[in-house]
């Protein structure tokens, strides 16, 4: 095999963008041979590929080696399982599933190591985040003591939420900003710091918009190591902030406004505190600005890596198995907030599923929707 025949299911904003990237030849050795969407008009936009009305037909068609799943969240699990069972390589959009139990089901369907199973965590290709992770993993930053990520620049208008009946509903997306916008940030958070031992979150439902799910969250997390952190997000704030601060014994990194600033302690802060013969002095520092150019290959790079994983056994940037972590964090925040209590991790996935099903069953929310003209979707993943 010297090329991969790709089918894309779900031709919404993301699926369409991926199809366009493949058709534009941005990913050598990856060919779009099929598309599937219940909306025939969208399917007809891609005459170069064979069109299907359903994922099932496309999976059974023999026209594809690999599937990219870009449908609404809940069906990631069902389509993903079908595709894995059919022996296809699978690339799934974020979140891999809506809740932890579904993630486990989906991951369990991945039985063969010959099948490549990846997730679209394109922000893992960003040199800023790669550099930070390197500094954490190498020990350069020392033991991590605190992290604070304020990521409130996911501004979304009323029209955005009105543009689809499924949007920002328990039944349609299974959550709001945590499930739709933040999977990337939560994935990176876990990629940097691992699993917290306790989570306390304050999720505000319908704070800025006429929706039934959370559009504004402040979460506090504690780690087995003693590290703690805050994660603050919102789709209502403008201009919005995207500032990630990580404090280790060896200094502080701030990523903000396309800058990577490292203030490096010449002596580890706790060692300095214990040994210096002074009450108020501080470790001498270096102010380091680490030059980084651009924000990496993003979606195209994930597609390239997926293709190379299939053809050359290149290691995956984002194995789908790791997609459970961001879902687990999002679920934990919603559950902690709903119960007004600190949640010990890991929580029981079945319990969360019951809670979510109850939210769906009890929902009386009537979503106002409007037809919208094509919007400049590239603005939506400007992070």
Query: CA–CA distance from 308 to each of 24, 118, 297 (Å)?
Result: 18, 12, 14
Nearer to a copy of itself, 61 or 218 (CB): 218
Q: Based on the shown chain and the rule CB under 8 A, indicate whether residue 257 belongs to the binding site for a copy of itself.
A: no
For residues 251 and 271, what is the distance between their CA atoms, to the nearest angstrom?
A: 12
Q: Report the C-alpha gap between 198 and 180 in whole angstroms.
A: 23
Establish if 342 lies at the interface with a copy of itself (CB under 8 A): yes
Query: To the nearest whole angstrom, how small is the minimum distance from the Cβ of residue 155 to a copy of itself?
Result: 5
Q: Tell me the window of 28-36, 135-143, 177-185, 204-212 that interacts with a copy of itself (CB under 8 A).
A: 204-212
CA 360 to chain centre: 23
245 interacts with a copy of itself by CB under 8 A: yes
**Residue in the block written with tokens 């139990």:** 101
What minimum distance in Å lies between the beta carbon of 225 and a copy of itself?
A: 12
Interface residue with a copy of itself among 315, 340, 361, 371 (CB under 8 A) is: 340
Burial group, residue 275, by CB count within 10 angstroms (0-12, 13-18, 19+): exposed
Given a contact cutoff of 8 angstroms between Cβ atoms, the answer to whether 27 and 43 are in contact is no
Binding status of residue 208 toward a copy of itself by CB under 8 A: yes
Residue 72 binds to a copy of itself (criterion: CB under 8 A)? no
Q: Tell me the closest approach of the beta carbon of residue 362 to a copy of itself, in angstroms.
A: 24
Angle formed by the axes of helices 127-137 and 183-193, to 10°?
Answer: 20
Distance CA 10, CA 214 (A): 25
CA distance 307 to 242: 31
Is residue 344 near a copy of itself by the rule CB under 8 A? no
Q: How far is the CB of 199 from a copy of itself (least distance, A)?
A: 12
120 or 201, CB closer to a copy of itself?
201
Q: Does 367 bind a copy of itself (CB under 8 A)?
A: no
Residue with tokens 């069953």, as numbered in its chain: 361
Q: Which of 75, 197, 206, 218 binds a copy of itself (CB under 8 A)?
A: 218
Which residues, at least 6 apart from 163, have a Cβ–Cβ distance to it below 8 Å? 369, 370, 372, 375
Decide whether 115 or 380 has the Cβ nearer to a copy of itself.
380
Binding mask 264-293 for a copy of itself (x = CB under 8 A): -x---xx-xxxxxxxxxxxx-x--------
Which residues are within 8 A (CB) of 332 and not within 5 positions of it... i.e. 6 or more apart? 199, 201, 343, 345, 347
178 close to 334: Cβ distance less than 8 angstroms? yes
**Which residue, 222 or 321, is less far from a copy of itself as judged by CB?**
222
Contact residues toward a copy of itself (CB under 8 A) are 145-146, 148, 150, 152, 155-160, 163, 200, 202, 204, 207-209, 218, 220, 222, 226, 228, 230, 232, 234, 236-241, 245, 247, 251-252, 263, 265, 269-270, 272-283, 285, 340-342, 372, 375-377, 379-380
């Amino acid at each position: 095999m010297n090329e991969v025949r790709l089918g894309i299911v779900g031709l919404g904003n993301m699926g369409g963008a991926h199809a366009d990237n493949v058709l534009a030849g941005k990913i050598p050795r990856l060919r779009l041979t099929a598309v599937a969407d219940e909306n025939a008009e969208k399917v007809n936009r891609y005459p170069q590929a064979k069109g299907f009305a359903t994922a099932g037909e496309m999976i059974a068609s023999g026209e594809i080696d690999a599937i990219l799943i870009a449908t609404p969240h809940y069906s990631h699990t069902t389509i993903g399982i079908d595709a894995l069972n059919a022996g296809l390589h699978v690339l799934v959009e974020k979140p891999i599933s809506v809740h932890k139990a579904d993630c486990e089901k989906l991951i369990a369907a991945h039985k063969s190591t010959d099948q490549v199973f990846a997730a679209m965590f394109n922000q893992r290709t960003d040199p800023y985040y790669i550099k930070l992770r390197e500094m954490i993993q190498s020990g350069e930053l020392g033991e991590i003591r605190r992290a604070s990520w304020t990521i409130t620049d996911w501004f979304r208008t009323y029209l955005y939420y009105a543009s689809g009946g499924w949007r920002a509903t328990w039944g349609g997306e299974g959550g709001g900003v945590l499930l739709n916008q933040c999977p990337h940030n939560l994935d990176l958070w876990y990629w940097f710091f691992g699993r917290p031992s306790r989570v306390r979150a304050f999720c505000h439902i319908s704070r800025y918009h006429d929706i039934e799910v959370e559009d504004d969250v402040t979460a506090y997390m504690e780690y087995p190591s003693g590290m703690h952190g805050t994660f603050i997000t919102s789709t209502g704030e403008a201009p919005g902030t995207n500032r990630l601060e990580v404090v280790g014994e060896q200094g502080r990194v701030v990523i903000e406004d396309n800058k990577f600033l490292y203030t490096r302690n010449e002596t580890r802060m706790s060692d300095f505190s214990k040994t210096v013969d002074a009450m108020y002095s501080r470790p001498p520092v270096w102010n380091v600005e680490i030059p980084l150019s651009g924000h990496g290959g993003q979606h195209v790079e994930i597609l390239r890596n997926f293709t190379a994983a299939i053809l050359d056994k290149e290691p995956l940037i984002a194995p789908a198995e790791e997609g459970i972590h961001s879902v687990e964090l999002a679920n934990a925040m919603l559950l902690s907030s709903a119960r007004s209590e600190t949640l010990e991790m890991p929580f029981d996935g079945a319990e969360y599923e019951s809670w979510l099903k109850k939210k769906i069953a009890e929902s009386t929310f009537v979503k106002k929707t409007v037809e919208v003209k094509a919007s400049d979707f590239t603005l939506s993943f400007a992070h």
